[in-house]
Chain A
Amino acid sequence: MKKSYLTLLLLPGLVFLAAFMVIPILLTVGSTFYHEGRFTVEGYLYFFKDPYFLKILWTTLRVSLVTTAICMLLGFPTAYFISQQSPRKKALLLALAIFPLLTSSVVRSFSWTIILGKKGLLNNMLLSVGLIQEPLNILYTPTAMMIGLIHLFLPLIIITLVGVMENIDTDLVKAAESLGANRFAAFCRVVIPLSVPGLIIGGILVFVGSLTAYTTPALLGGKQQVISTFLYQNAITLNDWYLASVVATIMMVITFVIIMIMNMLANKLNPKG
């Protein structure tokens, strides 16, 4: 009786996801190996032999890696500061970090076009104080893309880390201090190791997010393509569905490999075992 009851509750959702997500994905992956009536890996050879495609992949990975590293570096101290605040202040700071996350990515990326444009705020400021003579070309470059992505994902890593740091028993820091550690040493030896799993999870979210983001590169990257815009271009503009499927498969493989590696790392580095 219980089994049929469970099935009744879970089956509708599962069938829906199977029909509209799992099966299409499997068919897409399958189609890259079975093309024009035979088994083949041609699509992948084609992709990985073309320097232009490889450059797109490389740019995407580079931008995502730098974005992730910067988000970790900036997010960690910020999250630590937030987690040390009184509950009221903490709630306010968290709310201010969550708000951008819930705001449309179109809005958030678009806001940078006003700042980074040739006649934008940044160039105006730099010109007026005489730091530069010619306006900088930032907008529509990988740098602009990176700034947009950091802006997009920094809040994510901050709130993830605050969630982890909140659960670190403050007595642990006091215990470390009582054993002779100064505040900085206690931070290094207690807070940092206990935050590592959160840092890794946050890192995964940022990296995967940057790797697969579409809106921000489309708005800020200009002619510089990344793998997601490349996929879209092949599918919609060029109608090369075979190549698009290959790119989609590559994206999924990279995503899963990263999630798996990071998960393994998180488990290994988790001091709680």
Chain B
Amino acid sequence: MRQKNRGLGLFTFFIYLFLLGPLVIIAFASFEPGSAMKFPPQGFSLKWYQNIFEVSMFKTSFITSILVSLAGNLLALLLGLPAAYALSRFQFRGKAALNAIFISPVLIPGIVLGFTMLKYVIITYNLPVYSALLIGHTVIMLPFIIRVIASSLANFDFAVEEASLSLGAGRLKTFFTVVLPNIKSGIIAAVLIAFLESFNNVDISVFMTGPGISTFPIQMLLYVENNFDPTIAAISVLLMLFTAVLMFIIERLMGLSYFTKR
């Protein structure tokens, strides 16, 4: 019995080695002084970190990505928060179908979503790249915003809302003074999770680049097509740090149990 658990423990250890090992290796490789990536590194140097800032496309695409993710997030929140509230608060006919529609952007292959949007929205209406990116990213963020906020609303006792109504507050006032403060952390977590989804997105953004404009992950892909130096490894380390910080905040806000629910 104990033997079996030890065997399972060892198994789990190797699984985690497989999951996290490559990320550790890439971190070590980022300090390689030579111009080709190696593990273990042949020395210690920060020059590839410096190089990130010298490639101007990284800088502009980073700004593009941040702006698109932030603006898309705001838009997705404006569309998604009322929808999440309505879907959690009320019982009505056709609710399951509406739920499915709002969640569907995660089920439809991203590459298909990107292509159909390119074909029938962007080209048809001759949209500039920035608006195209904004629309595409809002679509993929919407299900995350709705799901996370809905899971936060699931823990909210709607009798509290009725209490506020019975004490004289109107619906809108009640939403802002009673509901919102109690799902605040869920909303922030939703925004952060959606931000990561948007920032890391490749499948949709890949259809929406223009002359001199692309998102950060697309720029990374373009870079590795032509270069094999450790710049990407250095970027990876920074991105992982960034991800870790956001994940820590999400954990503080609402725990990680959201991720285990399907």
Contact yes or no, A81 B8, CB < 8 A: yes
Q: For residue B146, which residues in chain A have a CB less than 8 angstroms away from its CB?
A: 13
Name B26's contact: one of A94, A95, A110, A183 (CB within 8 Å). Answer: A110
Q: Does A69 contact B (CB under 8 A)?
A: no
| B222 CB to nearest chain A CB (Å) | 11
Task: Using A20-B121, A212-B110 as known contacts, say yes or no to A102 and B105 having CB atoms under 8 A apart.
Answer: no
Contact yes or no, B202 A106, CB < 8 A: yes
Task: Using A21-B104, A163-B261, A183-B1 as known contacts, say yes or no to A114 and B26 having CB atoms under 8 A apart.
Answer: yes
| Chain A, interface residues (CB within 8 Å), range | 35 or more
Contact yes or no, B202 A214, CB < 8 A: yes
Q: Does A195 contact B (CB under 8 A)?
A: no
Contact yes or no, A21 B206, CB < 8 A: no
Select from chain A the residue with minimum beta-carbon distance to B16.
A96
Task: Using A10-B98, A80-B8, A106-B220 as known contacts, say yes or no to A255 and B105 having CB atoms under 8 A apart.
Answer: no
Q: For residue A9, which residues in chain B have a CB less than 8 angstroms away from its CB?
A: 82-83, 85-86
A215 and B119 CA atoms in complex are apart in Å by: 21
Q: For residue B45, which residues in chain A have a CB less than 8 angstroms away from its CB?
A: none
A33-41, A46-54, A127-135, A230-238 - interface stretch: A230-238
Name A214's contact: one of B12, B15, B83, B206 (CB within 8 Å). Answer: B206
Contact yes or no, B39 A121, CB < 8 A: yes
Contact yes or no, B138 A16, CB < 8 A: yes
Select from chain A the residue with minimum beta-carbon distance to B22.
A111
Name A212's contact: one of B11, B104, B111, B196 (CB within 8 Å). Answer: B111
Q: Does B67 contact A (CB under 8 A)?
A: no
Select from chain A the residue with minimum beta-carbon distance to B204.
A214
Q: For residue B19, which residues in chain A have a CB less than 8 angstroms away from its CB?
A: 96-97, 100, 151, 154-155
| B195 CB to nearest chain A CB (Å) | 10
Name A251's contact: one of B22, B98, B111, B257 (CB within 8 Å). Answer: B111
A214 and B23 CA atoms in complex are apart in Å by: 20
Task: Using A80-B8, A183-B1 as known contacts, say yes or no to A214 and B244 having CB atoms under 8 A apart.
Answer: no
Q: For residue A219, which residues in chain B have a CB less than 8 angstroms away from its CB?
A: 221, 224
Contact yes or no, A107 B239, CB < 8 A: yes
Q: For residue A155, which residues in chain B have a CB less than 8 angstroms away from its CB?
A: 19
A61 and B119 CA atoms in complex are apart in Å by: 26
A28 and B196 CA atoms in complex are apart in Å by: 29
Name B120's contact: one of A28, A101, A198, A211 (CB within 8 Å). Answer: A28
Q: Does B142 contact A (CB under 8 A)?
A: yes
Contact yes or no, A235 B115, CB < 8 A: yes
A102 and B139 CA atoms in complex are apart in Å by: 19
A109 and B26 CA atoms in complex are apart in Å by: 11
Select from chain A the residue with minimum beta-carbon distance to B246.
A102
Task: Using A16-B138, A24-B116, A151-B18 as known contacts, say yes or no to A114 and B25 having CB atoms under 8 A apart.
Answer: yes
Task: Using A21-B105, A28-B119, A81-B12 as known contacts, say yes or no to A12 and B78 having CB atoms under 8 A apart.
Answer: yes
Q: For residue A74, which residues in chain B have a CB less than 8 angstroms away from its CB?
A: 15
Task: Using A160-B260, A214-B111, A255-B108 as known contacts, say yes or no to A235 and B9 having CB atoms under 8 A apart.
Answer: no
The proximity string for A residues 236-250 relative to B, scoring 1 for CB distances below 8 Å and 0 otherwise, is 100001001100100
Q: For residue B221, which residues in chain A have a CB less than 8 angstroms away from its CB?
A: 106, 215, 218-219
User: Can you list 24 A-B pairs, Cβ within 8 angstroms, ordered by A?
Assistant: A8-B82, A9-B85, A12-B79, A13-B79, A20-B136, A24-B116, A25-B112, A28-B120, A77-B8, A81-B11, A96-B16, A99-B244, A102-B193, A102-B200, A104-B220, A106-B221, A110-B232, A111-B22, A111-B23, A114-B39, A228-B109, A232-B207, A248-B111, A251-B111
Closest CB pairs A-B (n = 9)? A163-B260, A212-B109, A111-B22, A24-B120, A9-B86, A24-B116, A9-B82, A13-B79, A107-B236
Binding site for B on A (CB under 8 A): 2, 5-6, 8-10, 12-14, 16-17, 19-25, 27-28, 74, 77-78, 80-82, 84, 91, 93-108, 110-115, 119-121, 151, 154-155, 158-160, 162-163, 166, 183-184, 198, 201-202, 205, 208, 211-212, 214-215, 218-219, 228, 231-232, 235-236, 241, 244-245, 248, 251-252, 255, 259
